[in-house]
Amino acid sequence: MQPAISVLGMGRMGSALAHALLKAGHPTTVWNRTPAKAAPLAAAGAEVAASVRNAVAASQVVIVNVSDYQATQSLLRDKEVAGALEGRLIIELTSGTPDGGREAHGWAQRQGARYLDGAILATPDFIGTEAGTLLVSGPSAVFEEGRNVLGALGGNVQFIGEDPGLANALDSAVLALMWGALFGALQSIAVCRAEAIDLGVLARQWTATAPVVEGLVSDLIKRSAAGRYDADAETLSSVSPHYSAFHHLVDLMEARGIDRTITGGYEAIFRRAIEAGHLHDDFASLSQFMGQPA
């Protein structure tokens, strides 16, 4: 018999989490601020709680997935609800900041509850599949307690560390990488449109170029971890050719009136590194110039 779980929040992600728990055989109680969104879960076999307090009382494990930590606080930091949390395991899967996770962990401890903070690196369609990735941080003994439940939500559950802020911290770091690619794609699309290049051609080129980009990113992370900033025999490219090619892009964008807000940021980082004497160093040397404001 699988342990009973309560899930607060039946948005796109919360609904996927509850469906995965049901599929794994967990008796599941759900609650949502807008009750109609819980109806498909009721049809799938979940109990629908009439209040947050009832949902918390129904299970030893309470998963929260609402839009942000403020919403979580408005649900849990009610006197009656907080009183019912004693002895429960709270798994917060709402996205948030590292400090938000740390503060929530401290608050949960003061209510006599155990707490894990998780970040979901997947869209709802990946939940409950082998490829579903969840980052989790908090006390390791509590993680062991929650491991089975978390395993029902995704096949790739990673314990990031005891500090409850770490899952959110790594989530933000990975999102920074993702948005680098997505905002880069927006610039590519603008350039293609301005130069009348069919976007199908760009799509094919991305397929061909993605492995090269992946290799460059992996190399950048590896060299930054080792502090190998000087150019050496294994350097793929120094700052100098990147900076020249970057200026071809900037010139084209200027000529075609394309928004250069993003490239303005790139320019500032290039300039900081070049002024500090890194023009002929490995591109990884730029990583030293990101930990400071412009």
Binding residues for ligand NAP, rule: CB under 6 A, are 9-14, 32-34, 37, 65-67, 71, 74-75, 94-95, 120, 123-124
Shortest-Cβ-distance residue relative to ligand NAP: 11
By C-beta, is 81 or 239 nearer to ligand NAP? 81
CB of 27 to ligand NAP, least distance (A): 21
CB of 65 to ligand NAP, least distance (A): 5
Token output for 231: 């150019």
Please state, in angstroms and as integers, the Cα–Cα distance from residue 98 to each residue in 55, 156, 169, 262, following that order: 27, 21, 5, 26
Give the relative orientation of helices 239-256 and 166-194 as an angle to the nearest 10 degrees: 50
* CB atoms closer than 10 angstroms to residue 210: 11
Instruction: Return the H-helix or E-strand segment holding 252.
Output: helix 239-256
By C-beta, is 28 or 32 nearer to ligand NAP? 32
The DSSP 8-state label assigned to residue 5 in this structure reads: E
Contacts of 146 (CB under 8 A, 6+ apart): 61, 89, 91, 116, 136
CB of 68 to ligand NAP, least distance (A): 6
Give the relative orientation of helices 199-226 and 166-194 as an angle to the nearest 10 degrees: 140
CB of 67 to ligand NAP, least distance (A): 4
By C-beta, is 16 or 239 nearer to ligand NAP? 16
| Phi and psi, residue 289, nearest 5° | -105, 15
* CB atoms closer than 10 angstroms to residue 132: 25
CB of 105 to ligand NAP, least distance (A): 17
By C-beta, is 164 or 239 nearer to ligand NAP? 164
Q: CA 20 to CA 154: how far, in whole Å?
A: 9
By C-beta, is 12 or 256 nearer to ligand NAP? 12
By C-beta, is 134 or 273 nearer to ligand NAP? 134
CB of 73 to ligand NAP, least distance (A): 9
